[in-house]
Amino acid sequence: MSQVEICSGYAGREAALSELFRTTFTASEGPQEGALLGDFVADLMRETPPDDVRAFCMSEAEALVAGVFFTPLRYAQDDRQVWLLSPMAVRPDRQGQGLGQRLIRHALDSLHKAGADIVLSYGDPAFYGRVGFAPVTAAQAAPPHRLSMPQGWIGQALGAVSFTPLTGEARCVPAFDRPELW
């Protein structure tokens, strides 16, 4: 097995990233969810200003094996820099090898160095708990939309910042402003 490499950005990898998410979510959740996430990733990269997207990829022999996206969550009355980790995918044949955790740790370190204070996600608490995420309530961090599975709302403070409640209404990037994603 060749060595995996982590890279930042998505330029030139748009089609491969969209297909990675489509394939991964089709395998785990079915064709409808795979199509939804593949199209969402394509929309996110095409419609979101570059300053509002942080993408991290993992490749092996130039083939993508994992990808994760971060976009800002802005709280109307809070100055802290908050990012939303979503979506995240690891190619089905490479899952269970720690690659996703390695990619997330790298991304969180990069975001922290760039000034991020808090990262939130809407996902599996067991998986994300391995990289420091813990459940949060809507009172601690209001989600931009009603959550279909509130137990999946998780977050962590980076560095010395404490995770005190975020204040004000949450606003996500337009690509995430779709209730069916929540």
CATH number (3.40.50.80, 3.40.50.12160, 3.40.630.30, 3.40.228.10) of 4-181 reads: 3.40.630.30
The angle, 0 to 180 degrees and rounded to 10, between the axes of the packed helices 31-47 and 14-29 is 150
pLDDT tens profile 46-69: 999 999 999 999 999 889 999 999
Sign of the torsion formed by the C-alpha atoms of 102, 3, 16 and 23:
negative
Query: Does 125 score more than 90 pLDDT?
Result: yes
**Burial zone of 139 (CB within 10 Å; 0-12 exposed, 13-18 middle, 19+ buried):** exposed
What is the Cα–Cα distance from 35 to 50, expressed in whole angstroms?
Answer: 23
**Burial zone of 102 (CB within 10 Å; 0-12 exposed, 13-18 middle, 19+ buried):** middle
Report the Cα–Cα distance between both ends of the chain, in Å, rounded.
37
pLDDT tens profile 7-48: 999 999 999 999 999 999 999 999 999 999 999 999 999 999
Nearest to 100 by CA among 75, 72, 126, 131: 131
Q: Are 119 and 85 in contact (CB under 8 A)?
A: yes
What is the Cα–Cα distance from 125 to 128, expressed in whole angstroms?
Answer: 5
pLDDT tens profile 9-19: 999 999 999 99
| Average pLDDT rounded to a whole number, residues 102-117 | 97
Per-residue model confidence (pLDDT) at position 141 = 96
Encoded tokens for 36: 């939804």
